[in-house]
Structure 1
């Protein structure tokens, strides 16, 4: 017997996508983004939580503390991430396993180097078009990554001294879990694209809810401050 389609499945998918991209996020924030009632969002969140696709975030947050009971903040689980997974991950992992078997660790290093070059060539036009402002360049990179399925966003870090490039989804997560060198190559590519020393704080491949890259707003690589004019 064919099941009856769930008319609210599309809304839950949009909520899950937003949680992947912007989590940790509260039900009130989701309601504002989706122009839905708080009650409707909470109903969908309850179903997503019941399905094991989201979970309450119990880590620290960079947002200022508020009085009263803190709002529940949600992130996507591994199962939720898998909804938007890459069907070619197994093939890619097998291919890299063959590279290692045939060429040894040097084969993976060579592949990683090629990946750095490929990422730079792919994203440089968008980043360069954003001009010299570091935040604008990071935003341009995030938009380009999102178009490639990374659900990327840029956020202010603690005390406003850094930016955080967050990737809520990773199309190559399974491959990167098996070969962390790929994450290192991606970090190196972003360093070259943004022209500042960036640091990887967390990865989906490492079990975190999001890949996070910190970008200093004061850089010594170019020898000048990247703060906007008028900032202290």
Structure 2
């Protein structure tokens, strides 16, 4: 078990490196080297696009979300070429991030109708941790435990609000901040929101007995 821990941690941090740190580092590295804003943003946008293509090739499956991201990247590049405005690339990235905002809206809407969406999302984690019997016991609490229902609604509201806030903040940064300041602010937005959210999630689920 100890032997495989390091590779697993490395795989867990790989998406963070590819989707967050590498594009940001490349952009500011190119700017320090004197590269124009438009070209620096273009090359930094190529990393997420290449990552999506590699995932499509490796899985050999038509992934709607991946195709949508590629389409948004392509549209942003075309508009940027036509306008010659580097901010167009930032706005394209922000609108791609609005997919997370839609997820936030879905989470918030589910709180008032039926079972909150976070309960559906948690199923695979609960099953992995507690097995089929544990999953049945956990989901069964919804019908007989009012505190359990309230707690899951609170958590779903928190995650939905955080996802929507992140999407709207990135959109505001893309439109309002100077071009050289916007990439750092946009990339830092979710970690700044997510860290206190995760801490709240861990503390709340432990305090209210929501874990499987």
| TM-score, scaled relative to structure 1 | 0.27
**Which protein has the bigger strand share?**
1
TM-score (structure 2 length as normaliser): 0.29
Higher helix share: 2
If asked which structure has higher relative contact order (CA below 8 Å, sep 6+), I would say 2
